[in-house]
Amino acid sequence: MSGILWHLANVAGILGVLLTLAGGLIMVERRLLALWQDRYGPNRVGPFGLLQVAADMIKIFTKEDWTPPFADKPVFIIAPCIIMATVLMSFAVIPFGPTVGVADLDIGLLFFLGMSSLGVYSVALAGWASNNKYALLGGLRATAQMLSYEVFMALSLMGVVMLAGSFNLRTIVNAQQHLWFCVPQFLGLVVFTVAGIAETHRVPFDLPEAESELVAGFHSEYSGMKFGMFFVGEYLGITLISALIVTLFFGGWYGPFLPPLLWFALKTAVLICGFVLLRASMPRLRYDQLMSFGWKIMLPTALLNLLITGAVVVARHAS
Cα dihedral across residues 49, 54, 60, 62: positive or negative:
negative
The answer to whether residue 60 forms part of the interface with another protein (CB under 8 A) is yes
Measured from the CB atom, the residue of 7 and 44 that comes closer to another protein is 44
Min. distance of Cβ 287 from another protein in angstroms?
6
Nearer to another protein, 206 or 265 (CB): 206
Do 146 and 198 meet the contact criterion of CB atoms below 8 Å apart? yes
Nearer to another protein, 45 or 118 (CB): 45
**Does position 35 bind another protein by CB under 8 A?**
no
Q: Which is nearer to another protein, 37 or 177 (CB)?
A: 37
> Rounded CA gap, 249 and 106, in Å?
18
> CA distances (Å), 142 to each of 111, 183, 244, 290, in order?
21, 32, 22, 11
Strands annotated E in 1-66: none
**230-249 footprint of another protein as x/- string (CB under 8 A):** --------------------
The verdict on 280 binding another protein (CB under 8 A) reads: yes
What phi-psi label fits residue 214: left (phi over 0), alpha (psi between -120 and 50 degrees) or beta?
Answer: alpha
Q: Does 148 bind another protein (CB under 8 A)?
A: no
Q: What does the alpha-carbon distance between residue 66 and residue 39 come to, in Å, rounded to a whole number?
A: 35
Q: How far is the CB of 131 from another protein (least distance, A)?
A: 13
Question: Which residues 6+ apart lie within 8 Å of 161 measured at CB?
Answer: 109, 167, 172
Nearest distance from residue 299's CB to another protein, in Å? Answer: 19
Q: Considering the complex, what minimum distance in angstroms separates the CB of residue 135 from another protein?
A: 9
Q: Between residues 54 and 308, which has the closer beta carbon with respect to another protein? A: 54
Binding segment toward another protein, per CB under 8 A, in 27-35, 163-171, 179-187, 297-305 = 27-35
> Which of positions 193-222 make contact with another protein (CB under 8 A)?
203-204, 206, 210-216, 219-222
Q: Which is nearer to another protein, 34 or 261 (CB)?
A: 34
Among 62, 104, 179, 304, binds another protein (CB under 8 A): 62
Cα Rg for the chain, rounded, in angstroms? Answer: 20
Cα 175-146-124 angle, rounded to 5 deg: 130
Closest to another protein by CB, 150 or 221: 221
Quick one: which of 296, 298, 284 has its CA closest to 194? 298
Residues 6+ apart with CB under 8 A from 83: 119, 122, 123, 229, 230, 233, 237
By the criterion CB under 8 A, which residues form the site for another protein? 30, 33-34, 36-46, 49, 51-52, 54-66, 133-134, 137, 140-141, 203-204, 206, 210-216, 219-224, 227, 279-289
